[in-house]
Amino acid sequence: MFTGIISDVGTVLAVKQHGDLHARIGTNYDISGIQIGASIACNGVCLTVVALGTDPQGWFDVEISAETVSKTNIGQNDWSQDQRINLERPLKVGDELGGHIVSGHVDGVALVKSVTDEGDSTRIVLGAPADLARFIAPKGSVALNGTSLTVNEVCGVDFGINLITHTKQVTTWGDVRVGDAVNLEIDTLARYVARLNEFPA
| In the chain, domain spans | 8-88, 108-197
Contacts of 142 (CB under 8 A, 6+ apart): 136, 148, 149, 151, 159, 161, 184, 185, 186, 187
Report the predicted TM-score, pTM, of the whole model to 2 decimal places. 0.92
Residues 27-39 have a mean pLDDT of 96
- pLDDT above 70 (res 89): yes
**CB distance 128 to 159 below 8 Å:** yes
> Which CATH code for domain 108-197?
2.40.30.20
Same fold yes or no, 8-88 and 108-197? yes
Q: Does residue 36 or residue 76 have the better pLDDT?
A: 36
Ramachandran class of 149: left when φ > 0, alpha when ψ lies in -120 to 50, beta otherwise:
beta
Q: Which of 36-40, 66-70, 93-97, 148-152 has the lowest mean pLDDT?
A: 93-97
Please measure the distance between the N-terminal and C-terminal CA atoms of the chain and give it in whole angstroms: 31
- pLDDT above 90 (res 129): yes
Residues 151-164 have a mean pLDDT of 97
Looking at every residue in the chain, the average pLDDT score rounds to 92
Ramachandran class of 105: left when φ > 0, alpha when ψ lies in -120 to 50, beta otherwise:
beta
Ramachandran class of 145: left when φ > 0, alpha when ψ lies in -120 to 50, beta otherwise:
left
The pLDDT score that the predictor gives to residue 201 is 64
CATH 2.40.30.20 fits 8-88, yes or no: yes
